[in-house]
């Protein structure tokens, strides 16, 4: 698949996932009092939500970088599924949908690990003397 299309889909997936991810993370900071250190539990929970949500984005990035076409396809499907789940959670705040979103995020983390282990990084080109 064309590299440009792959990177465009990467950017779209990143935006579509991070908008609800950051909003949900900010909801967890709702009860945090002003002046709380950024290294507190509240901020750690918010950061964890954002990091976990970006698992599929990381998988997408690696698949594109390592020219792994099948991995790109799987990661794109996973990203879209996660984006849809996050949007529904944001709109409905339904616990069942939240559970499904959690399962999707776990699957995406597994996919990320799969892509990392099944592909190698691009070899570094050394200049010949």
Partner 1 sequence: MKDNHDMDQLFNFDHKEKDLITSAKRKSTWRMTWISGLVSVLILTLVVLIKLQLTPWLLDREIIAQEFYYEVHGANTFVGLWDESIRLIGSSAKAPRYKLVQGQPVYRGDVTNDSSPVEVHVSADPLQAYDYYGNKMMQFIHPQTASSDVPNDLFGMDAMLDNTIIEMGVSFNDAYSLDSVRRMLPEGLDLQWVWVDAFPVIEEEEAFEMILTENEVIGYPLIDETGKEIMDPIEHFMDVLEIGKDRGGRYKQEIASIQAAMHETRTLDETTKNVIGAVVIGDKEALRNLRNDPMVRATSVGAIVHPVIGKGEMENE
Distance of closest approach, residue 9 Cβ to partner 1, in angstroms: 5
Q: Report the distance separating Cα 100 and Cα 113, nearest Å.
A: 20
Burial category of 69 from C-beta neighbours within 10 Å (exposed 0-12, middle 13-18, buried 19 and up): exposed
Binding status of residue 104 toward partner 1 by CB under 8 A? no
Distance of closest approach, residue 64 Cβ to partner 1, in angstroms: 13
Q: Report the distance separating Cα 96 and Cα 119, nearest Å.
A: 35
Binding mask 58-97 for partner 1 (x = CB under 8 A): ---------------x--xx-xx--xx--x--x-------
Binding status of residue 15 toward partner 1 by CB under 8 A? yes
Binding status of residue 9 toward partner 1 by CB under 8 A? yes
- Of 5 and 121, which has the nearer Cβ to partner 1? 5
- Of 9 and 112, which has the nearer Cβ to partner 1? 9
Nearest CA-CA partner of 114 in 63, 48, 67: 63
- Please give the distance of CA 97 from its chain centroid, rounded to a whole number: 18
Nearest CA-CA partner of 79 in 27, 11, 25: 11
Triad 34, 38, 42: Cα angle to 5°: 75
Binding status of residue 121 toward partner 1 by CB under 8 A? no
Contact residues for partner 1, defined by CB under 8 A: 1, 5, 8-9, 12-13, 15-16, 19-20, 73, 76-77, 79-80, 83-84, 87, 90
């Amino acid at each position: 698949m064309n590299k440009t299309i792959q990177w465009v889909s990467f950017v779209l997936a990143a935006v579509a996932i991070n908008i609800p991810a950051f909003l949900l993370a900010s909801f967890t900071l709702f009860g945090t009092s002003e002046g709380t250190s950024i290294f507190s539990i509240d901020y750690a929970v918010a950061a964890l939500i954002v990091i976990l949500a970006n698992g599929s984005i990381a998988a997408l990035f690696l698949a594109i970088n390592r020219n792994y076409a099948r991995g790109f396809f799987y990661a794109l499907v996973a990203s879209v599924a996660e984006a849809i789940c996050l949007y529904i959670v944001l709109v409905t705040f339904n616990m069942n949908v939240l559970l499904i979103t959690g399962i999707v995020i776990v699957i995406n983390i597994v996919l990320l690990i799969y892509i990392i282990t099944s592909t190698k990084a691009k070899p570094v080109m050394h200049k010949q003397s």
